[in-house]
């Protein structure tokens, strides 16, 4: 018991605050990974957009500088042309730098007629190496370039513009520092982290609380299981959560399962008690017959009679045990059927022929009402014979001498209804729902020999075919048992066979 208690208590402890915290941490890890992924995507998207904007701005400025280069072509003297071009470009460059002192820029002009010119904004010399800039390819157009200098993290965007031969040839090249963009991106990172960390903390705490409350019904289930294992009391039930949530159906299903198990175990206890009670009588008869035969002088005729009585009692016990096993198979869905097309009229006629001598002894008439149509269905012939033989046997037991037992059948579109009507004392309404329980015997049937398995077996066979059984009875007006069977049973009911190739039974009854 101690090991069961420990194993049952351990899950309840696991599903407390520790489980809730771990689950919240798992979600926090997933959330963090997702947030970092969004940060990575957002950061690089913003960086690429910023770099593209800087390159576009540089190209627009290079178009302006080319216009200043064109102004220098008005001078016929080559030296004047070169000096004018440099003066115009230098003036324009410094005016742009003065407008935005935060921009770190450089401008490079290389031309056959205009000469070479290199300009940079004040204070940015340490952020690049002039030789590295002069060695850039004439068609450079890129962002994120490191151009030497004392700060490896300082990057540049560079754009180039070729000059037409009429402008003196060569090219213009400009670069702009990405430091301002890096400051923006750095602020973005700080804001993101400052926003994510509190949200992560709140998510962990709030998630732990919500998870703990959400799994409350599961803790209730585990505590109920622990109590049942500890006390063995199957009448305990889990309390459904107030207000109802998604776990309410789980708790209700668990309670229904407990109720069904409680009923099954109670039925099993009752069945075992009834089996023990009903087996005691034939076993006592067997013992008494054997002792009586042993105490008498040797007499072969008396010994043969005693052995015959023992054989009869053992057959009775074996029949009861066999029926119990078949009922167990039916309850678990293991009763397999040999399905074939059968005529219900033929089944009922065979049953009447089987019991006609018993009926004659009791002066009871077995009457088969003619059917209005050909009642045929797909079923297990042997099982149906057992079913209606049990019903007729039951009817003959309770029908008084000189009365009548009536059998009949008719078919509808999808079903066949078969009935057996007796003229017995009837079944009280309080017992009509219990007569189908195995080993149940009503008060009026206690004086009749039997073990209370016949009607249980009838119901099991009917349900194995996908049908059902019911009884209609009034006090002192007999009972009418109705079996409703589908014409075509469910696909999983059994194996359909061809009656033309069914093996013929041998003399000893085996196929």
* Residue 445 confidence (pLDDT): 47
CA 441, 447, 453, 459 dihedral sign is negative
d(CA 485, CA 458): 12
Summarize the confidence of residues 14-32 as an average pLDDT.
71
Average of pLDDT values for 285-301?
Answer: 72
3-state secondary structure of 162: strand
Which residue ranges make up each domain of the chain? 34-185, 248-326, 337-501
Q: What confidence tier does 408 reach under pLDDT thresholds 50, 70, 90?
A: very high
Greatest C-alpha distance within the chain: 160
Assess contact for 345 and 504: CB atoms under 8 A: no
Overall average pLDDT of the 271-280 stretch: 65
Long-range contacts, stretch 414-418, CB < 8 angstroms, 24+ apart: 414/486, 414/487, 414/488, 415/467, 415/484, 415/485, 415/486, 415/487, 416/344, 416/375, 416/377, 416/484, 416/485, 416/486, 416/487, 417/482, 417/483, 417/484, 418/344, 418/348, 418/388, 418/482, 418/483, 418/485
Q: What share of the chain is helix, strand, coil (3-state, %, to 5)?
A: 55, 15, 30
Query: How do beta strands 365-368 and 142-145 pair?
Result: unpaired
In 336-457 the beta strands, taken as DSSP E runs, fall at: 337-343, 365-368, 376-380, 404-411, 415-421
Strands 105-110 and 171-177: antiparallel
Grade residue 330 by pLDDT with cuts at 50, 70 and 90: low
Q: How much is the average pLDDT of 239-264?
A: 77
What pLDDT score was predicted for residue 441?
58
- For the chain, the first-to-last Cα distance in angstroms comes to 51
Closest by CA to 124, choosing from 100, 140, 143, is: 100
| Per-residue pLDDT, 461 | 85
Map residue 402 onto helix, strand or coil.
coil
Q: What length does the chain have?
A: 511
On the question of pLDDT at 187 being above 70, the answer is yes
Is the separation of the CB atoms in 387 and 448 below 8 Å?
no
**What CATH number does domain 34-185 carry, 3.40.50, 3.30.450, 1.10.238, 3.30.460?**
3.30.450
- Cα(380)–Cα(78) distance, rounded to whole angstroms? 117
Kindly state the helix (H) or strand (E) to which residue 41 belongs, with its residue range. helix 17-71
Same fold, 34-185 and 248-326: no
Return the minimum-mean-pLDDT range out of 96-100, 147-151, 206-210. Answer: 96-100
Residues 172 and 160 sit within 8 Å (Cβ to Cβ) = yes
Q: pLDDT by residue (tens digit) across 90-113?
A: 877 777 777 666 678 888 888 756
More confident of the two residues 26 and 57: 57
Tell me the percentage of the chain whose pLDDT exceeds 70: 75
Assign 285 a pLDDT band (cuts: 50, 70, 90). Answer: confident
Cβ distance 71 to 90 under 8 Å? no
Please tell me the distance from the alpha carbon of residue 76 to that of residue 97, in angstroms, as a whole number.
Answer: 31
Contacts of the segment 436-439: beta carbons below 8 A, 24+ positions apart: 436/469, 437/267, 438/267, 438/271, 438/324, 438/327, 439/270, 439/271, 439/274, 439/275, 439/278
For domain 248-326, give the CATH number. Answer: 1.10.287.130
CATH of domain 337-501: 3.30.565.10
The tens digit of pLDDT for each residue in 451-498 reads: 446 687 788 888 888 899 998 888 878 899 999 999 888 776 666 665
Instruction: Over range 366-391, report the average pLDDT.
Output: 87
């Amino acid at each position: 018991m101690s090991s069961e208690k420990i194993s049952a208590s351990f899950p309840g402890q696991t599903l407390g605050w520790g489980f809730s915290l771990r689950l919240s941490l798992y979600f926090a890890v997933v959330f963090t990974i997702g947030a970092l992924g969004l940060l990575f995507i957002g950061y690089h998207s913003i960086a690429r957009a910023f770099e593209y904007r800087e390159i576009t701005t540089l190209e627009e400025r290079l178009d302006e500088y080319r216009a200043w280069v064109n102004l220098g072509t008005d001078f016929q003297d080559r030296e004047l042309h070169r000096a004018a071009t440099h003066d115009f470009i230098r003036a324009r460059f410094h005016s742009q730098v003065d407008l935005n002192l935060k921009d770190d820029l450089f401008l490079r002009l290389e031309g056959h007629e205009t000469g070479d010119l290199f300009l940079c904004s004040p204070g940015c010399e340490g952020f690049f190496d002039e030789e590295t800039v002069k060695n850039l390819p004439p068609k450079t157009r890129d962002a994120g370039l490191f151009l030497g200098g004392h700060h490896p993290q300082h990057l540049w965007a560079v754009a180039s513009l070729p000059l037409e031969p009429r402008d003196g040839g060569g090219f213009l090249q400009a670069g702009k520092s990405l430091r301002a963009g890096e400051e923006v991106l750095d602020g973005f990172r700080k804001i993101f982290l400052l926003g994510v960390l509190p949200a992560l903390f709140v998510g962990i705490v709030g998630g732990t609380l919500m998870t703990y409350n959400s799994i409350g019904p599961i803790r209730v289930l585990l505590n109920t299981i622990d109590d049942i294992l500890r006390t063995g009391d199957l009448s305990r039930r889990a309390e459904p959560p107030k207000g109802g949530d998604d776990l309410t159906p789980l708790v209700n299903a668990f309670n229904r399962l407990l109720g069904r198990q409680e009923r099954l175990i109670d039925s099993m206890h009752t069945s075992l008690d009834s089996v023990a009670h009903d087996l005691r009588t034939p076993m006592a008869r067997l013992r008494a017959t054997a002792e009586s035969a042993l105490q008498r002088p040797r007499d072969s005729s008396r010994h043969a009679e005693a052995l015959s009585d023992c054989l009869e009692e053992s057959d009775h016990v074996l029949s009861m045990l066999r029926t119990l096993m078949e009922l167990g198979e039916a309850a678990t869905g293991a009763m397999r059927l040999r399905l074939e097309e059968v005529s219900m009229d033929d089944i009922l006629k065979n049953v009447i022929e089987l019991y006609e001598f018993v009926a004659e002894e009791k002066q009871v008439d077995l009457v088969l009402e003619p059917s209005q149509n050909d009642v045929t269905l797909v079923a297990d012939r042997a099982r149906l014979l057992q079913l209606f033989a049990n019903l007729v046997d039951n009817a003959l037991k309770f029908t008084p001498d000189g009365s009548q037992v009536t059998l009949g059948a008719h078919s509808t579109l999808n079903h066949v209804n078969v009935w057996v009507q007796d003229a017995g004392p009837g079944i009280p309404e309080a017992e009509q729902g219990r007569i189908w329980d195995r080993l149940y015997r009503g008060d009026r049937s206690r004086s009749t020999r039997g073990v209370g398995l016949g009607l249980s077996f009838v119901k099991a066979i009917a349900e194995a075919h996908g049908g059902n059984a019911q009884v209609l009875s009034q006090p002192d007006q007999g009972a009418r048992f109705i079996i409703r069977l589908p014409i075509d049973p469910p696909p999983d009911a059994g194996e359909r066979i061809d009656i033309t190739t069914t093996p013929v039974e041998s003399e000893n009854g085996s196929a």
